[in-house]
C-alpha cells in the first residue's frame, strides 16, 4: 500500500517567511485525508513539497520512502490537481488528455475511460475554452487519473462545482480511495485540501490540521470528534424555573440568547426533569461538536469558510505559495 510520511518538514522563503515549521504527518491509505488550515497555514507549500515543486529548507516528505523526483514511473504513482489552469482554449478535452497521455507514455484508451469517469464524455470534442470552471475541474481530475495513480492530491477540488457536482465528487473520492490501487494491490491515498469545512466533514475520513505552518491535530475524524461536546438547548417560557431544576440535578444550565443551554447534557437527562417539573417546552435541540467547532478550537478559525461557496484565496496564495513556487502546476505529478 502507498505511504506518505513527512518528518521535520520545514520551508522558509527569503530567510524571513516561515511557511512550514518542522511538520510531521502520515497520510493513511484506504480513505480520504483532509488537509485543513486557515489561509497561510502552509497547506499548499506542503503539497508542493510533496510533489517536488518546492524544495524543503530541511526535513523530508516521502512517498513510499522516496522523494517524488526519485519515484519510478511517477505518473503511475501520483496524480495531482493544484490548479484548474494551463489549458489551451482551442484544444478539445479529448485532445488535451491525449497530449498528456503521449508525454507520459500512457495508452490512449485511458483518455475516454477517464472522461467517462468524470462525466465529460459528451463534452469530449468541445473546446476547453468554452468550459465552465466546474468542467475544467473535472477535466483536471481526469488528467490526474490517466496513470491510475496510487496517490491523488487535490487542492480545493470543489471550486466551481455546483451542489450536484460536489455530491458526485464526494462519492467518487470515497470509492477511489477504497478501491485496490490498479494491479499493484493495496489501497489508495487521497489527500484533499479544502476551506469548506461543512463539505470536508462529509468527505474526509482522516484530518491533518495545520496552523502557522505547524501540525495542530491529526487522526481519524471520528476519533477526534469522539470526545465532542454535547449540548441541549431548550426554548421555554419557564426558563428560570428550568435552570433551577437542572442545577438542582447537578446539570450546568444558563439562559443564553433566549434559550436554556445545558452543556454536557443529553435529551435523555433533561427531558425527565422538564416532565417532573411540568415545564412547558416550545423547542428542544441536541447538538454535538462538528468539524467546524473542532477546527475553531484548534486554530481560532481564521481564514476558513464554514458554508458552501468559494473562499477568497488572495492573501493565502501570496503567503502560502511563496516566491519559489511554480506559477503553473500540471495535474500529473506536477508536470504541465
pLDDT per position as a tens digit, 118-142: 999 999 999 999 998 888 889 999 9
The SS3 assignment for 194 reads coil
Give the other-Cβ count within 10 Å of 19's Cβ. Answer: 27
Task: Please give the pLDDT value at position 101.
Answer: 92
Which segment of 74-78, 112-116, 125-129, 307-311 scores lowest on mean pLDDT?
A: 307-311
Residue 324 scores a pLDDT above 70: no
Task: Please give the pLDDT value at position 72.
Answer: 83
What's the grid cell of residue 172? 467518487
Query: 26-49 pLDDT, tens per residue?
Result: 998 888 999 888 778 899 899 999
Mean pLDDT of 99-119: 92
The dihedrals phi and psi of 134, each to the nearest 5 degrees, come to -65, -40
Question: What is the β-pairing status of strands 254-256 and 230-235?
Answer: unpaired
Which segment of 4-8, 9-13, 34-38, 177-181 scores lowest on mean pLDDT?
A: 177-181
B/e letters for 63-76, b = 16+ CB within 10 Å, e = fewer, are beeeebeebeebbb
Higher-pLDDT residue of 207 and 287 is 207
Higher-pLDDT residue of 297 and 286 is 286
How many residues does the structure list for the chain? 336
Residue 325 scores a pLDDT above 70: no
Task: Please give the pLDDT value at position 330.
Answer: 36
Give the residue from 332, 334, 329 showing the smallest Cα distance to 86. Answer: 329
Are 190 and 176 in contact by the 8 Å Cβ rule? The answer is yes
Taking CA atoms, 29 is separated from 2, 61, 215, 236, 260, in Å, by 6, 16, 20, 49, 44
Interatomic CA distance for residues 260 and 253, integer angstroms: 7
Higher-pLDDT residue of 331 and 212 is 212
Interatomic CA distance for residues 294 and 216, integer angstroms: 11
What sign does the CA torsion over 91, 92, 94, 97 have?
Answer: positive
Residue 334 scores a pLDDT above 70: no
Are 201 and 166 in contact by the 8 Å Cβ rule? The answer is no
Instruction: Quickly state the pLDDT bin for 311 (edges 50, 70, 90).
Output: very low
Mean confidence (pLDDT) of the chain: 81
Residue 295 scores a pLDDT above 90: no
What sign does the CA torsion over 10, 12, 16, 18 have?
Answer: negative
What's the grid cell of residue 308? 458552501
Interatomic CA distance for residues 146 and 155, integer angstroms: 18
Taking CA atoms, 149 is separated from 183, 189, 318, in Å, by 11, 9, 30
| Triad 35, 39, 44: Cα angle to 5° | 50
Which segment of 12-16, 137-141, 253-257, 326-330 scores lowest on mean pLDDT?
A: 326-330
Interatomic CA distance for residues 7 and 62, integer angstroms: 9
152: left (phi over 0), alpha (psi -120 to 50) or beta: beta
Which segment of 100-104, 105-109, 320-324 scores lowest on mean pLDDT?
A: 320-324
Residue 326 scores a pLDDT above 50: no
Residue 288 scores a pLDDT above 60: yes
Sheet bearing 58-63, strands edge to edge: 17-27, 4-13, 58-63
Instruction: Quickly state the pLDDT bin for 2 (edges 50, 70, 90).
Output: confident
- Provide, rounded to the nearest whole percent, the portion of the chain with pLDDT above 70: 80
What sign does the CA torsion over 298, 302, 303, 306 have?
Answer: positive
Higher-pLDDT residue of 182 and 199 is 199
Interatomic CA distance for residues 286 and 305, integer angstroms: 24
Mean pLDDT of 156-176: 83
Amino acid at each position: 500500500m502507498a505511504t506518505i510520511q513527512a518528518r521535520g518538514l520545514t520551508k522558509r522563503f527569503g530567510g524571513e517567511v516561515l511557511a512550514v515549521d518542522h511538520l510531521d504527518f502520515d497520510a493513511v491509505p484506504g480513505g480520504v485525508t483532509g488537509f485543513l488550515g486557515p489561509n497561510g497555514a502552509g497547506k499548499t507549500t506542503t503539497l508542493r513539497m510533496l510533489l517536488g515543486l518546492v524544495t524543503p529548507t530541511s526535513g523530508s516528505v516521502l512517498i513510499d520512502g522516496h522523494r517524488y523526483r526519485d519515484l519510478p514511473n511517477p505518473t503511475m504513482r501520483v496524480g495531482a490537481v493544484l490548479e484548474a489552469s494551463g489549458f489551451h482554449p482551442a484544444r478539445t478535452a479529448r485532445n488535451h488528455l491525449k497530449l498528456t497521455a503521449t508525454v507520459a507514455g500512457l495508452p490512449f484508451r485511458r483518455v475516454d475511460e477517464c472522461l467517462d469517469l468524470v462525466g465529460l464524455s459528451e463534452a469530449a470534442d468541445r473546446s476547453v475554452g468554452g468550459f465552465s470552471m466546474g468542467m475544467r475541474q473535472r477535466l483536471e481530475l481526469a488528467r490526474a487519473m490517466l496513470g491510475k495513480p496510487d496517490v491523488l492530491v487535490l487542492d480545493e477540488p470543489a471550486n466551481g462545482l455546483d451542489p450536484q457536482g460536489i455530491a458526485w465528487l464526494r462519492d467518487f473520492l470515497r470509492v477511489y480511495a477504497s478501491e485496490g490501487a490498479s494491479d499493484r494491490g493495496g489501497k489508495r491515498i487521497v489527500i484533499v485540501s479544502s476551506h469548506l469545512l461543512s463539505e470536508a466533514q462529509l468527505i474526509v475520513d482522516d484530518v491533518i490540521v495545520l496552523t502557522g505552518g505547524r501540525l495542530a491535530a491529526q487522526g481519524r475524524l471520528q476519533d477526534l470528534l469522539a470526545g465532542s461536546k454535547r449540548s441541549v438547548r431548550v426554548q421555554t417560557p419557564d426558563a428560570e424555573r428550568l435552570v433551577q431544576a437542572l442545577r438542582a440535578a447537578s446539570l450546568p444550565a444558563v439562559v443564553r440568547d433566549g434559550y436554556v443551554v445545558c452543556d454536557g447534557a443529553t435529551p435523555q437527562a433533561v427531558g425527565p426533569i422538564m416532565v417532573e417539573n411540568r415545564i412547558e417546552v416550545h423547542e428542544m435541540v441536541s447538538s454535538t461538536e462538528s468539524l467546524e467547532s473542532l477546527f475553531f478550537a484548534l486554530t481560532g478559525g481564521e481564514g476558513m469558510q464554514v458554508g458552501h461557496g468559494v473562499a477568497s484565496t488572495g492573501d493565502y496564495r501570496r503567503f502560502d505559495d511563496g516566491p519559489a513556487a511554480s506559477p503553473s502546476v500540471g495535474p500529473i505529478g506536477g508536470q504541465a
